[in-house]
Amino acid sequence: MKDEIKHAQLNKEKWDKWASSYDSNNWRNKYLRDAQSKLVSYLDVKDNVRFLDLGCGTGWAIGETAKLVGNKGEFYGVDLSEKMIEKAKSNFRGRDNFHFIEASAESIPLNNNFFDIIICTNSFHHYLHPDKVLKEIYRLLKKGGKIYILDPTADSWIIKIIDKIIKLAEPEHVKLYSTKEFRLMFEKAQLKYSIAPQTFQAASKVHIGEK
Ligand SMILES: C[S@@+](CC[C@H](N)C(=O)[O-])C[C@H]1O[C@@H](n2cnc3c(N)ncnc32)[C@H](O)[C@@H]1O
C-alpha cells in the first residue's frame, strides 16, 4: 500500500509540473500529439459516440475526436494529475458535452456499460496495476465497445533495454509490455484482443480489445 501511495504521488508530481507547458510546441509534445493524431484518424467514430480518453493529459485527442462527428457525442477524459485536468477544463470551457475527471485509471467513478470507445495513449506504462485498469475498462465498455491502447511495445531487445533505462531514470515508470503480454492481459480481462496492422511511431503499437 505504501508503494502504491508513493507511486501515485510521484506520478502526480511529474504530470502536474508538466501540465502548464503540455500544449506548447516542443519536440516532446509534438511526438505525443503525432501519436494521438494517428490514433484518432484510425478510429471509426460514429455520431453520438460515448468516448473516453484514459490518461487524457490536457484533452487534445478528445477535441480532435469530437471534430470527426461535428461534436455529436459525450466526451470524457480521466487523468490522475489535478493540473492536467484543470488545463483540460480550461481548454474546453463551455463545452457541455465534455467532462474531465481527476481520478486514477485503476478506479474510475463512471457507470458500467457506458462507452463505445476508450483510448489510452502513452499512459498505460505508468499504471502500477494494469490488470485493475483493464478490469475497469471492461466494466465501462458497452458490449461491442472497444479499447485502443497506444504504447511503446517491447517486442525487440532494444525496446526491452530502453524500458530498463527509463525505469532507472524515471521512478514512476512501470513497464513497457510486449505484444504477447498485452494479449494475455486483455484475454484475462475478457477483452477480445487484436492489434492494429501498422506500427504507429517507432515502436508504438495499438492494442485493441473488444468487449
Ligand atoms: C505522457 S502523458 C500522455 C497524455 C496523453 N494521453 C497524450 O497522449 O499526450 C501520461 C498521462 O498519464 C497520466 N497518468 C499517469 N498515471 C495515471 C493513472 N494511474 N491514472 C490516470 N492517469 C494517469 C498522467 O497524469 C499524464 O497526463
Q: What is the pLDDT at residue 1?
A: 59
Residue 187 Cα to ligand 1 midpoint, Å, equals 23
Cα–ligand 1 centroid distance for 175 (angstroms): 14
Confidence at residue 179, expressed as pLDDT on a 0 to 100 scale? 97
Index of the ligand 1 atom closest to the CA of residue 57: 27
* Nearest Cα residue to atom 14 of ligand 1: 55
* All structural domains of the chain with their residue ranges: 2-210
- What pTM does this model have? 0.97
| d(CA 57, ligand 1 centre) in Å | 6
**CB distance 120 to 148 below 8 Å:** yes
Q: How far apart are CA 150 and CA 122, in angstroms?
A: 6
Kindly report each contact of residues 131-137 with a partner whose C-beta sits within 8 Å and lies 24 or more positions away, as own/partner.
Answer: 131/185, 131/188, 131/189, 132/106, 132/107, 133/54, 133/105, 133/106, 134/185, 134/186, 134/188, 134/189, 134/191, 134/209, 135/189, 136/105, 136/106, 136/107, 136/108, 137/54, 137/189, 137/191, 137/209
Ligand 1: does its nearest atom lie under 6 Å from the Cβ of 65? no
**Tally of CA atoms within 13 A in the half-sphere of 23 that contains its CB:** 16
How distant, in Å, are the alpha carbons of 145, 146, 178, 208 from that of 186? 14, 12, 12, 9
The rounded Å distance from CA 55 to ligand 1 centre is 4
pLDDT at site 135: 98
Does any ligand 1 atom lie closer than 6 A to the CB of residue 57? Answer: yes
To the nearest 10°, report the CA torsion of 208, 63, 201, 80: -70
Does the C-beta of 122 come closer than 6 Å to ligand 1? yes
Overall fold of domain 2-210: Rossmann fold (3.40.50)
**Which ligand 1 atom is nearest residue 127's CA?**
19
With a 6 Å cutoff on the Cβ, whether 40 touches ligand 1 is no
Tell the residue nearest (CA) to atom 16 of ligand 1. 126
Name residues of the chain where pLDDT drops below 70.
1-2
pLDDT for the residue numbered 42: 94
How far does the centroid of ligand 1 lie from the alpha carbon of residue 56, in Å? 6
Going from the C-alpha of 176 to that of each of 11, 146, 150, 163, 186, the distances in angstroms are: 16, 21, 11, 6, 15
